[in-house]
Amino acid sequence: MYTHCPECSTYFRITAEQLRAAQGKVRCSNCETVFSALETLEETLPAGQVSANEDQNTTPAKETAKKEKKSKKSKKDKRVKTAGHGKGFIKALFSILLTLILITGFLAQFAYFQRNDLVAKYPVLLPYFEQACGLAHMECDFSLRKDYSKLSLEHKDIRVHPKVKKSLLINGNLMNQANFVQPYPIVTLTFTDSQDKVVARRGFTPTEYLSNPAQAEAGLSPRESALLVLEVLDPGPDATNFTFDFH
């Protein structure tokens, strides 16, 4: 059997199965016109006419509609998948950023509360801590860690002061045996007699016993020593011993 498009007059071969499947409606692939094949149905091909290949030129209308619907659905699914991938990427990126922010916050808190120990162990960090506190408008106290049991006074030397009458000149090396920076202590000098009774006692601040008072701000570095110089009045002949304490 044959039918032809009422718009472009193109003839096609068509089978009964195709007509039933499309309920008589077909689409011309030459001009895309949907028409009723039953209205132009002929048993034989008219003389002088050529039948176009129905696989290329006619398709049942319902089948075409299904293909178009399937194509639209496929495109929609692709858009949904693409959108889903985009949302997943943004979610993953947000999670990574949130994790980094939390880690940074934790490290910042740890550094703030451990600042004195960190500065004591790594003095080079002090200017960075001071800058960070300034930017954050925070008051940060950088008091150095103390363990004066790790301090010792070595190579002590006491003699009559060469320039000041009735005075003594005492030298020594203040050594920091700790593995961290310590603040310079107050050095207390005590004179005792032969019965271990106190004859005289005096405390000296770092600015009084250091030749360069600016050293006091930096602290005494680990395993380092500083020259200590004391000028004191002569306590008299009863003073036979002297000791140093650090506070």
pLDDT digits (tens, 9 = 90+) for 111-131: 777 777 777 667 677 778 778
Q: Give the chain's residues under pLDDT 70.
A: 48, 51-86, 120-121, 123, 141-143
By C-alpha distance, which of 172, 151, 147 is closest to 245?
151
pLDDT tens digit sequence for 135-154 = 877 777 666 778 999 999 99
Could you give the residue range(s) of every CATH 2.60.40 domain in the chain?
148-246
CA 4, chain centre distance (Å):
73
Query: What is the reported pLDDT for 212?
Result: 86
Q: Which residues, in sequence order, are CB contacts of 104 under 8 Å at separation 6+?
A: none
Neighbouring CB atoms inside 10 A of 231's CB total: 14
SS3 of residue 66 by DSSP? helix
- Taking the C-alpha atoms of residue 16 and residue 27, their distance in angstroms, rounded to an integer, is 16
Query: What is the reported pLDDT for 206?
Result: 94
pTM listed for this prediction: 0.46
pLDDT tens digit sequence for 182-193 = 889 999 999 999
State which amino acid sits at residue 240.
T
- In our burial notation (b when 16+ CB lie closer than 10 A, e otherwise), range 50-89 reads eebebeebbbbbeebeeeeeeeeeeeeeeeeeeeeeeeee
Domain 148-246 part of CATH 2.60.40: yes
